[in-house]
Amino acid sequence: MKPILQSDWHRLDGTPILRPIAEAVENSLLTEAAAGNKIKVCIGTDSQVRGSETEFATVIVFLRKGRGGFMFINNEKTSQKMTIKERLLLEVSRSIEIAYHLCFLFDKYDTELEVHADINTNPRFGSNAALSEAMGYILSMGFTFRAKPDAPAASCCANYVV
């Protein structure tokens, strides 16, 4: 898989984002501020295995406090074989990669940022096997961590597009 920062990004309706992702995010933050909207950004990734391929979807979700939101989406496919734990930690890694690349913008524009993991906090679910590593990874990078059921960027938005 190519680095997520060099990948193609698009909107939910399929419209491509033709500028670098940092520029598109900054433009969105400025536009929303000019419209009087307070924004919170949530970044998450989900994946789906279909036959010999795994598709990953990473989303940057812009939530307007009390006024809906929108998202930027990146999809990638790989034929690399991996365990569920490896796949979940790769999801987290992809979310952290984009959050780390963009965090200077969120600091600059005083924007709340959360990194969401599609990992269940209930030990009865298979995804729980990666919970402690994912939480440690996200928190050690200085980001706010959210897991299911409080991680809609990963478990709802990214899940929807993959």
Nearest to 118 by CA among 137, 131, 106, 107: 131
pLDDT at residue 126, rounded to an integer: 85
**What is the structure's pLDDT at 154?**
94
pLDDT of res. 5: 59
Predicted pLDDT at 1: 55
> By the 8 A CB rule, do 41 and 111 touch?
yes
Domain ranges of the chain: 4-161
In this prediction, residue 128 carries a pLDDT of 86
- Asked if residues 139 and 145 have their Cβ atoms less than 8 Å apart, the reply is yes
On whether the pTM is more than 0.75, the answer is yes
Q: Which three-class secondary structure string do you get for 93-135?
A: HHHHHHHHHHHHHHHHCCCEEEEEEEEECCCCCHHHHHHHHHH
Written as six digits, the tokens of 29 are: 């933050």
> In the structure encoding, which two tokens stand for residue 59, read together?
């989303």
Q: Provide the residue-wise pLDDT of the chain in tens; the chain has 162 residues.
A: 555 655 699 999 999 999 999 999 999 999 999 999 999 999 999 999 999 999 999 999 999 988 899 999 999 999 999 999 999 999 999 999 999 999 999 999 999 999 999 998 988 888 888 999 999 999 999 999 999 999 999 999 999 999
Using N-to-C axis directions, what is the helix angle for 21-34 and 84-108, rounded to 10°?
50
Burial degree of 117 (CB within 10 A; 0-12, 13-18, 19+): buried
pLDDT score, position 136: 93
